[in-house]
Structure 1
Amino acid sequence: MLGLRLFDVSDGGAVELTARSAELKRHLQGVVEENMELFLRVRFLASEYSTGPVHGGRIDSLGIDENGSPVVVEYKRGRAAGVITQGLFYLAWLTDHRDEFLHLVRDRLGDAVADQVLWSAPRLICVAEDFTRYDVHAVREIRRSIDLVRYSCFGNELLALEPVASVVANGAARSEWRPQKAASSPAVHIDTGGVSPLRAALEEVLLGFGDDVSRVDRKQYRAYRRLRNFACVSHAHQQEVVVTLRISPKDVDLVPGFTRDVSQVGHHGTGDVEVRLRTEQHLRQAEPLLRMSYDAG
């Protein structure tokens, strides 16, 4: 069960609020869909999307995440029985119907978003009251991009979401940052310059925060995420490592040349604070900020 304990301290005392299940799956689904970008960093596309007469099903929610990956979201009011296998069925349908999904994205979000869809790692997000250790083991063996999210309701107004497991299809979550030949991955630029060891050291720090950290490569950046991105490392810089973090500039003592507010500046990846690393000492200085962003993710 959810390890989170929640207390009402509004009257000076402390009253523990008891966790409960959602009254109806549809209610849970509706709340998540209305707030999907805030909760999951996924832009909502459609609810109860029909897979047609041959497949004969309905996808609970369809969306596209902050890295451009197509997303299937499936919900279970109680325990996770069946929700993962059902979601995998719909994920397979999605990868077989790319043109239909792209048409939906163009219709709802426009051509610019549709042109950036990343098909290398379509995602399944399962939201349920609880998962077993067998569920967690299974998603790691399946080797598809799957996130397990545990929910709990407190009273009538509070909803808690807890990432339980996050797996990326390429299985590269623990690999090192090595130079690659252009032919092996033409869409992603990996530097071969002197900052490669620093990138590798940064990756070791980011992946070391927890087993729930995974990564996704885009042409312009590499994203490290839990349920959502918490650090994005640019591929464009050869003399330094530039990473953007999901923390508020108001919470950071900005140092010229080291950190800056990019909330109003165009940049690749997500995050409002940019950190520039040139040495391992800079990396050590940045670790508290990296951790802050991870904790917020």
Structure 2
Amino acid sequence: MPLFKKKESKLLQIKEKSNPLEKDIQEATEQNLNEIFGLDYVSSEFQLNGLRVDTLCFNKESNSFVIIEYKKDRSFSVIDQGFAYLSLMLNHKADFLLEYNERNKNKSLNRESVNWEQSRVIFISPSFTVHQKAAINFKNLPLELWEVHYYDGDLIEYEQIEPFENSENIETVTGGNKLIKEVTKSIKVYDLDLHLKRGSENTRKLFQSLKEKIMDLGEIKENPKQLYVGYRISDSHINFVAVHFYKEKLELTILIPDKNLEDPKKWTRKVPKSFGWA
């Protein structure tokens, strides 16, 4: 879909720039990691065992490492390269911890403080092929594809390629690939079904009614995590509500200023600052 700029009563199309340099994409991304992805920068060009990590990041929400790779080569295999980087991380945890701790003198991590199950790889490119996009259409795949587009007027757009819903697991189509089997045993991608199974028939019905109202608010993205299902505006990395499933009830954590909260029945309580959310 083309972008337009309104000038009086006319719409002027904003032209997309072709062939942005990989180093420019990397620089813009690294300097704005929190704004784009909600991630903290760790380091660039981290080399280990013959592989080079373009950008190493840390996700404070899930306490996990995220690897970002920038690609202009349209022939690379998303699955092969993605799982190679995840395997590198899982087999060299000490090196990743050392890299983080050396770059963050005021913070430190140890093996137990990192949720290795939530490790991810993000590929960023001006465009992906049809085959590369199709490669991520599997259940429980810890890989993301993002296209970046440069426009006149210093405009930059990051757009995630969303996978189709598919019940098939990546392991069912990779045969005896040892590396993929090892990684998928260690990496967890949580989905809505996990949370629905925690509830009863009544809480599932209640959730479906709640979800419909949330999704009716606009372009909302569902974000299942280990302990909750989050919902955020599609261009944001912050959940405005998180739904926690219990057998006989749902518990909601809502991001809202105190002055805007209407609670005549006094059902709500403020999240303690010790939780790190307030």
TM-score (norm 2): 0.69
State the distance in 2 between where 1:129 and 1:19 align.
11
How far does residue 224 in structure 1 lie from its aligned partner after superposition? 5.3
The one of 58, 67, 80 aligned to 1:64: 58
Deviation track 1:64-100 (CA, whole Å, cap 9, x = no partner) reads 1232221011112x46531624333222211111122
- CA displacement 1:24-78 (0-9 Å, x = unmatched): 1011001000000110111111111111xxx3121111111232221011112x4
* Partner SS, residue 96 of structure 2: helix
**How many matched pairs?**
248
CA–CA distance in 2 between the matches of 1:156 and 1:57? 36
Which residue of 1 is the match for residue 253 of structure 2?
A: 243
Superposition CA RMSD, Å: 4.3
Higher mean alpha-carbon deviation, 64-73 vs 128-137, is at 128-137
Distance 1:265 1:171 in 2: 28
Q: Indicate yes or no: 2:234 matched with 1:216.
A: no
Contact 1:131 1:150 in 2 (8 A): yes
Secondary structure of the structure 1 residue equivalent to 2:195: coil
Contact 2:192 2:224 in 1 (8 A): no
Q: Give the distance between the partners of 1:261 and 1:148, measured in 2 at CA.
A: 38
Q: Is the 8 A contact 2:138 2:163 kept in 1?
A: no
1:256 aligned to which of 247, 250, 263: 263
* Structure 2 match to 1:183: none
Say which of 230, 243, 267 aligns to 1:233: 243
- 1:95 pairs with one of 90, 93, 100: 90
Equivalent residue, structure 2, for 1:33: 30
Q: Cα–Cα, structure 1 residues 234 and 211, in superposed 2: closer, same or farther, change >3 Å?
A: closer
- % same residue: 19
Q: Matched residues in 2 for 1:146 and 1:211: separation?
A: 21
Query: Structure 1 residues 104, 201: CA separation in 2 closer, same or farther (over 3 Å shift)?
Result: farther
Could you tell me which residue of structure 1 aligns to residue 177 of structure 2?
none
Contiguous gaps of at least 5 residues in structure 1: 181-190, 273-297
SS at match of 2:149: strand
42-51 or 11-20, which deviates more: 11-20
Which consecutive residues of structure 2, in runs of 5 or more, have no partner in the other structure? 165-183
Q: Of 66, 73, 86, which residue of structure 1 is paired with 2:68?
A: 73
Does the 8 Å CA contact 1:216/1:224 hold for their aligned counterparts?
no
